[in-house]
Chains A and B, each alone.
Chain A
């Protein structure tokens, strides 16, 4: 197994993200329905699918594919998720600029950039029951695993587990921003839809990178 993947051949990771969102469209909407409008999966699927149609054949490089996804979400999706995920993916793409291989060092930078990007455009903090609550622990867990001597693949596994744990921790949180925040205490007891889709996205990325390292 190699410890990195070629960035120019990795545009398919974005296709896998789109497939994952589409496959979970109903589930994401159902989660959102508990304390939101119930349209998270529907709108995400609409935006991601629109991006997929723009990727073209042959697939572009990973940063180009991420930027296409980002631009489509910002330009077409709207809502809160358009800007938030738009910034998340363009921030990731920025870190790939000038790189040929995606290794653990670059991935760690992508995760930090994604976190900072979402922080910049949104008004939420960690603990506010948003996608940050999956993204932040995942970012930290990846860093820690890599620094403590685990290899790239193991660190990705650690990250995936942390994203899931972060997602599940939103059940006990009270929403502080967005539409669900108007519920106050009544927003407690269910998953946050944004943290759920973020966890799905991070796990799909991790799985896709690992598969490419094995291949």
Chain B
């Protein structure tokens, strides 16, 4: 394991300290060491946007704290949900008096901790409503869509929710827009190599050299097929074959596209993939109105890529276009 850390049990603490020192204009500490907020939060009369999740996905989750995005974030151990207390304290840090929208991903630990935190917040009259992202197509069949995991589609959900809150919408309106965003979003991941939690010291799954795992999850959850690595164009086609029919995306759809590396895949390979994605989408008559390519949502040093697509209506298009400033995503 060739990695950079001090004590493997405290990589999250050490990284959070670095983030705070590096970006005081974007990230502020709170009394809870596992909760960060944007310096302007809580913003009076704006619905607060909160998310949270395990560490190791940087820039997610803390990198999406910022203007027009997330107000406060709960930070968990690597690949492990933040505590209920962290979610609760993030709600408090984000609450400007109009309630809080907690927009997070569908994982057992996050579901339990958010549930406890929402209950705790209700005791002191802080209203929190939730949207649970479930954009990962291969993680469950369509008739069990509620079981699907949340992956990089969460970023688009935060962007939409954050922009809607900035417009002055009330909590129910923010929730409705965020839910609409994730309902219109589909993702798939392909893994080429495993990743290692520093405190564990060895990878907890394996992908045979020269192979790729289609539909892999953000923590190495197994996908739907393992096969020899194909040329980039065929990988692009394979990913589209999974997500296009699922929504389905159709001719003349306006779409947003997010291609994220999983941590150790060279950025140029994402563009090799995009070259084909753009060709196919154009051929199918789809119009890509928003495009994000880079390491937006990673899994430590895993090699691989995720593709996320959202079908836009005029509202989602408007909200994705609105200004935002965070480490992971900025729109001017």
Contact = CB atoms under 8 A, between A and B. Distances in A.
Contacts of A178: 108
A208 interface: no
Interface in B80-139: 80-86, 107-109, 111-113, 115-116, 139
Contacts of A75: 83-85
A22 interface: no
Given A37-B200, A38-B197, A38-B204, 10 more contacts: A33-B200, A39-B78, A46-B77, A78-B81, A79-B81, A80-B81, A82-B83, A82-B84, A183-B221, A183-B222
A78 B82 contact: yes
A123 B147 CA distance: 12
Nearest to B140: A182
Interface string B217-235: 1010110000000000000
Contacts of A77: 83
Contacts of A76: 83, 85
B199 interface: yes
Contacts of B107: 179
Given A39-B77, A179-B219, A78 B199 contact: no
Interface residues of A, number: 30
Contact of A186 (B78, B80, B82, B222): B222
B79 interface: yes
A179 B197 contact: no
Interface in B189-242: 197, 199-200, 202, 204, 217, 219, 221-222
A186 B206 CA distance: 13
Of the listed residues A29, A83, A86, A184, the one surrounded by the most CB atoms of chain B closer than 10 A to its CB is: A83
Residue of B107, B112, B199, B217 most packed against chain A (CB within 10 A): B112
A14 interface: no
Interface string A24-43: 00000100010011110011
B271 to A, nearest CB: 30
B14 interface: no
Contacts of A127: none
Nearest to A75: B85
A80 B109 CA distance: 4
A23 interface: no
B215 to A, nearest CB: 10
B116 A83 contact: yes
Interface residues of B, number: 31
A186 B54 CA distance: 24
14 contacts: A33-B204, A37-B204, A38-B197, A39-B79, A42-B199, A43-B77, A74-B84, A74-B85, A78-B81, A78-B82, A79-B54, A79-B80, A83-B113, A182-B222
Given A43-B77, A75-B85, A79-B76, A37 B222 contact: no
| CB-based closest 4 A-B pairs | A78-B83, A75-B85, A182-B221, A79-B80
B167 interface: no
Contact of A121 (B79, B85, B116, B204): B116
Nearest to B139: A182
B9 A182 contact: no
Contacts of B54: 79
A74 B84 CA distance: 6
A186 to B, nearest CB: 7
A103 to B, nearest CB: 32
A59 interface: no
A76 B81 CA distance: 11
A80 B108 contact: yes
Contacts of B108: 80, 122-123, 177-179
